[in-house]
Structure 1
Amino acid sequence: MPRAKRSKQYRKLMEQFSMSFGFRVPYQVIIDADFIAEANKCKMDVIRRLEDTLHGEVKPLITQCSMRHLYGRKSEPGVEAAIEQAKNHFERRRCGHHPDEYPEPLSTLECLQSVVDPKNNGVNKHRYVCAINDENVRAKLRQVAGTPMVFIRRSVMIMEPMATVSVKIRSKEEKSKFRAELKTPTSKRKREDDDSDEEEDAKRAAPRSAEADKSEKKKKKAQGRKEPNPLAVKKKKSKPTGNPDKQHSKEPKAEEAVVAEADQTEAPKRKRIRKHKSKSVSTNDEATTASGNGEAHVVEAED
């Protein structure tokens, strides 16, 4: 596993490739015959080391020409194990160099260049990571923009820094993005400032209406102790001052007084009639007593 400092550099480098050239996991890694033979010679787990170096899942690929190169070196020590690993764990990348058309396999440079840059326009179209141990092949592929390269040296897997061609393209894109960001906010901010200035001038020029003044007064609330919600407070019931029975008893008395006054006004008082007693009144005469209302009644006895 790479050391912490080197691992951090590789992670940043792959982030730059992802941002500038669109690399995504799983990374497609093309491995040549020399690389896989060196890895098996050092007893290195190729897939795990590639994942640690690139900081992401990898998809190992090997071309048909590289497989033919391995079969040609089958007598060398460790190559037979590399052939078995390539056959079982690596995906075959069709380079188009069929044995019928090409009795001898193409060189690693020609084969990989036709796969990485098929149109020969200096662009890594399919975003391949090249794991190559040959220095001449790596020097040629550095001319292809956006091509990360990995190699093995002294049993250590190393990732090359970004090539000059890739750095120029990346810096150019960063400058264009920076200029675009500078242009857009300034013009937008200027337009917003102009609109705000016009609104302020219109507000100052327009006279204040009565409704606007009222709304401003309503907004300014007096600070102090908050009163309770009037809807949540129960209203106090007023207590009666006197006895309700007495009030009811007074009402009919008043009605009686009114009726009595009406009787007095309507019926005048009867005049008293005084009758003189006759001389021939017998002793058995009976006199009636006066009635309760003060009137005297005299009854004459029969002879």
Structure 2
Amino acid sequence: MRFKKQKNHRKTVRFFSVCFGFRKPFKVLCDGTFVHHLLQNNLTPADKVIANCLSAPVTLFTTSCVVRELNSLGASQSASYRAARQITIARCDHEKRIKADACIEEVIGEQNSEHFFVATQDADLRKKLQQIPNVPLIFGLRNALFLEKPSKFQREYVKLSEEKRLHMTEKENKALAKRIGSISAKVDAGDSSDEEGLGHHSPGLQPHNTRNYPVINRDVKDRVRFKRKKAKGPNPLSVKKKKSQEKPNVAAGKEAKGDDDDGQSKRKRKRTRRGKKVSEGADGMAR
């Protein structure tokens, strides 16, 4: 049951988001009866409870007339009055206090330009707001909150607005006829000038598929060419490696030759006689 309720709420939120442009975080306008219901059923904090109902973040609003009405009810509504004072006040422009339901109706207006969700326990107020196309309604039932489905009037309004979008208005029809008449007049003038040899059609009036482009500008290389796959060699990983066959006598010959080369490859040391000459010169001086 709970899953079905959440599914219906998501459908309703999607309906108002797609058809009327509601965006997150949603604005919820609360009246005194709804605030009192939340406190009686321990549905606190209010913003989290409503956010769970809508499956989206919300911002709570109320009006100064609602707060004044709760204050005028005395000690019985003192807790509701204190809770309502903590909510953001929406501008209502009423110097003197009026009834809460009338104040909310004026704030919503005929278009609901602020895209408010209205949360109320007043059944009469909900019936009045159902006749406004883009006003979603929230109400409480015991310890649960519910989002009302779009009313029949709201659904019919959406259907009519979609049908209107498919058809042109009278103003658009007149503009289109005027445009067609001007284009046809230019085309007739161009035809007459061609017959007399005085001119030719303007390229702007010709459709795109009738323009004659020169053949030189067409590039044949731009055509897609598919390369045919040719047979390749075998997979080197699947080919068996050749065994290395070495003759023993050749290997032995290489070893013997290597030994001879080692003896011949030794470099001879060049000795100098500089030290000897120096020693001989020293002996001569001594004599």
Question: Could you state the TM-score of these two structures normalised by the residue count of structure 2?
Answer: 0.57
After superposition, the C-alpha distances for 1:90-123 in whole angstroms (9 at most, x for unaligned) are 101121112xxx2xx3122211111000xxxx32
Residue in 2 that maps onto 1:96: 93
Secondary structure class of the residue paired with 1:16 = helix
Question: Does residue 158 of the first structure (1) align with residue 161 of the second (2)?
Answer: no
CA distance in 1, matches of 2:13, 2:61: 19
Secondary structure class of the residue paired with 1:75 = helix
Deviation at 1:3, TM superposition (A): 1.6
Secondary structure class of the residue paired with 2:132 = coil
CA distance in 1, matches of 2:135, 2:127: 11
Deviation at 1:28, TM superposition (A): 1.1
Change (3 A) 1:224 1:83: same
Look up the equivalent residue of 1:225 and give its one-letter code: A
Deviation at 1:221, TM superposition (A): 6.1
Change (3 A) 1:81 1:177: same
Residue in 2 that maps onto 1:264: none
After superposition, the C-alpha distances for 1:163-221 in whole angstroms (9 at most, x for unaligned) are 222211222344456789xxxxxxxxxxxxxx99x9xxxxxxx9xxxxx8xx99xx576
Look up the equivalent residue of 2:231 and give its one-letter code: R
Secondary structure class of the residue paired with 1:225 = coil
Match of 2:82 among 74, 81, 84: 84
The answer for unaligned runs of 5 or more in structure 2 is 169-207, 234-287
Question: Does residue 147 of the first structure (1) align with residue 135 of the second (2)?
Answer: yes
C-alpha RMSD over aligned residues: 3.3
Residue in 2 that maps onto 1:53: 53
Question: Does residue 28 of the first structure (1) align with residue 16 of the second (2)?
Answer: no
- Greater fraction helix: 2
Residue in 2 that maps onto 1:115: 107
Residue in 1 that maps onto 2:67: 67
Identity %: 23
Tell which structure's C-alpha radius of gyration is larger. Answer: 1
Deviation at 1:74, TM superposition (A): 3.3
Q: Quick check: 1:108–1:137 contact (8 Å CA) kept in 2? A: no
Residue in 1 that maps onto 2:122: 134
The answer for unaligned runs of 5 or more in structure 1 is 181-194, 199-205, 207-211, 228-303
Secondary structure class of the residue paired with 2:28 = strand
Secondary structure class of the residue paired with 2:43 = coil
Q: Quick check: 2:32–2:84 contact (8 Å CA) kept in 1? A: no
CA distance in 1, matches of 2:142, 2:15: 27
Change (3 A) 1:91 1:177: same
Deviation at 1:75, TM superposition (A): 1.6
Change (3 A) 1:177 1:4: farther
Deviation at 1:162, TM superposition (A): 0.5
CA distance in 2, matches of 1:40, 1:111: 22
CA distance in 2, matches of 1:220, 1:22: 50
Residue in 2 that maps onto 1:169: 157
CA distance in 2, matches of 1:21, 1:60: 20
CA distance in 2, matches of 1:12, 1:220: 50
Change (3 A) 1:34 1:176: same
CA distance in 2, matches of 1:220, 1:32: 72
Secondary structure class of the residue paired with 2:74 = coil
Change (3 A) 1:134 1:226: same
CA distance in 2, matches of 1:32, 1:55: 21
Look up the equivalent residue of 1:80 and give its one-letter code: S
Change (3 A) 1:25 1:226: same
Change (3 A) 1:220 1:50: closer
CA distance in 1, matches of 2:65, 2:137: 19
Secondary structure class of the residue paired with 1:146 = coil
CA distance in 1, matches of 2:230, 2:85: 85
CA distance in 1, matches of 2:232, 2:61: 77
Counting matched residue pairs gives: 189
